[in-house]
Every structure is written in C-alpha cells, then in structure tokens.
Chain A
Amino acid sequence: MPSAHAQPATASASPPQSPPTVRLTFSPDPAYVRTVRMVAVAVARRAGVADELLDEIRLAIGEACTRAVKVHRRDGLADPIAVTISDGAPDRGRGGRFTVCVTDRGPAEAARKELAGGTGDIVARATVTPSGEDTGRNVLDEEALSIGVGLALLAGLVADFAVLDAPGGAGTEVKMSWPIGSASAGAAGPAARSEPASSWRVRRAPRARPGGADDGSEGGR
C-alpha cells in the first residue's frame, strides 16, 4: 500500500500512541532558530538522551530549521515552519526514540536533489574563485551553497534521518531520531551510519512490532 513517496498522514507522524511531546510553529525568521534548538535540547535532556548526543541534536535541529527558514525566504513564503518533538514515551526503554520533525512548505523533490548532491559538490563550489567584484550574485551563491552544506551536515551527522513529502500537501518533512538512554544502545538507528550521505531514507507505513526497534527504512533515491 505505501508508496515510497506518498505517505498517509499518520504514517509519517509519530507512532499513533504517542502524540508529540512538544509541537511548535515559528515564523520563518532566523531569530527563532536558536529558540527551537534550546527547546529541543531541553526535551532531549528530560527524555534521557545521552549527554554525548546533545551537541549533535542541537546542531541537527538547528540545521533543519535553518534550512526551512532559507527555503521559505528563497521561495517568498510567509508560512510558519512546524516542528514536532517527541520524547519517545511510552516506548522509552523499549527502543523508543527521541524524534524531531521539521516541516516546511518547500518542494520535497528539490530537497532530495540537494541531498543527492553530497559533499563533493560543496568542496568543488567552495574552491571556485569568484570574479573580484562582490556582486549580489556571489551573495546568492553563498546562500545556495550553505543550504547544500546544511543538508550535507545533517545527513552526515544524524544516523537516522529522512526527507519525506509533508503529510497532506505541498511541503517537505525532515525527520530525525536518536536513541534514548545509553548512546551505545542502538545509536546507529535503523539506518547504518556507513550509509552514504547522498542517499535519503524513506519510512515505511506503521510497523507491525509494537514498541520495537524501527523496521526497515531503506536507502535509495
């Protein structure tokens, strides 16, 4: 039933039995990204996520929100960006994960293409010497480059990370999760850390096993 792209509304959200711990929306303004970072880290700490993962969480959520703000700015969208944060209850201790979803109104296909670019592209563009003038084009170029850098950073940082079509309509959902409890227990998540940064992973429909580890998300393009 589930296709790789079109997720039924509930399938891409948290498992049916645990509504998000925190849900917030914010205007696509750079000033509020830090606020979201702080809220997410506070919820992660409270949920019992290992200390050594908190830096990664702070950076990853920051990148996802920053990317959303930049996409809205680039596409002239005034819509707010939505963030849901789940602390893994009631599956804590049984493989429940700390999960964050950041949803923007930009096109998901474009997001997947950016991700497919990988880091090689970044290094290549970073080393191109622009013409001497500081033109508006160089600034836009820098902006486009940093959107790509943001995604590469996210994909490289977060073991369990997926770019999905937003439920119910136009938009992109960036979903990330981390284990709760000791970092060594299943830190790699369902997607192996060795998976190349250029792939994106899609979540299947709700898993059959209750409260178990996440099932096969698969790599692919």
Chain B
Amino acid sequence: MGACEKGAVMELSLAARTVAEYKVLEIGGEVDVYTAPKLRERLIEMVNAGDRHIVVDLGRVDFLDSTGLGVLVGAHRRLKARDGTLGLVCPHERLLKVFRITGLDKVFDIHASVEDATRGGAARAARTGS
C-alpha cells in the first residue's frame, strides 16, 4: 500500500472546499506520525495561499494521534499569528477524548458539524482573540 512510491501516502485523504468565508479541509483516514506531514504541508500551503479562516473537518478520521495534534496546534498558531482562525469539526467521542486528555480541547474551537463551524462570525472570533 504505497510502499513502492515514496511520498504517496495512501492512508490519508485531504479535500478542500469553500463555505462562505471559510476554507473547509476534510480529512479522511488516519493521521499519525507517518501521514501527519502531508497534512502539515497542505495546511501550510493554504495559509501561504492566503486562507485565513480554516475549518478542519475530522468527521471521517479513523485515527488521530499526538503528531496529528501537533500539526493542528502548529496550524492554529500560524493562523493566529496572521489574525486568522482555525476551527475543528469533531463529532466522534473517541477523537474528542484525545483532545480532552491532552487539555487541547481548551485551545481549539471544536464543533459538532461543518454547519456549526461555518455559521459565520470568523471575523468576530478573530477580534475576540479566540
């Protein structure tokens, strides 16, 4: 499974779309130490391309570990440094648990759905510094 092709990471899928003033990045599969760099690259690309209000949708993620959390923290910080926002969509308890155990549920804006996450007010959120 992708073993012959360096750089072809099969275990992780990424798809971006625009919803109102947000860029929604839908992640599928597993985010671990091997696949997380692919996610990191994509988020960096998006920020460099000028995206400032990003929502990361974890609804189809089967596995998320500390490396994945580190990438999300990195993106959160990068966006914050540019007056942007990072929202997360995490409807599954097994992933929510991971944020809670590490205390990172206090750092991120976590929503139950993309609809909730893109309801609007990204500019408002940036002003209140959340």
- A residues with a Cβ closer than 8 A to B are 30-31, 33-34, 55, 58-59, 62-63, 66, 69-70, 119-120, 122-123, 126-132, 134, 138-139, 142-143, 145-147, 149-150, 152-153, 156-157
Contacts and interface: CB of A to CB of B under 8 A. Distances in A.
Given A34-B32, A66-B32, A123-B106, A152 B65 contact: no
Looking at chain B's contact residues, is the secondary structure mostly helix, strand, loop, or mixed? helix
B103 interface: yes
A126 B73 contact: yes
A129 B66 CA distance: 20
B23 interface: no
A138 B80 CA distance: 14
A149 B74 contact: no
B71 interface: yes
Given A34-B34, A126-B107, A157 B67 contact: no
A147 B67 CA distance: 8
Given A66-B65, A126-B76, A120 B33 contact: no
Contacts of A147: 66
Given A30-B33, A30-B34, A120 B70 contact: no
Nearest to A152: B102
B25 to A, nearest CB: 18
Contacts, number: 97
> Can you list the 10 inter-chain pairs with the closest CB atoms, starting with the nearest?
A146-B70, A150-B66, A156-B101, A30-B34, A119-B103, A149-B66, A30-B33, A66-B33, A142-B74, A123-B103
Contacts of A134: 44, 78
Contacts of A142: 70-71, 73-74
B11 A153 contact: no
B32 A62 contact: yes
B74 A119 contact: no
Contacts of B76: 126
A151 to B, nearest CB: 8
6 contacts: A127-B107, A128-B77, A138-B74, A146-B71, A147-B66, A156-B102
B70 A145 contact: yes
Contacts of B98: 59, 153
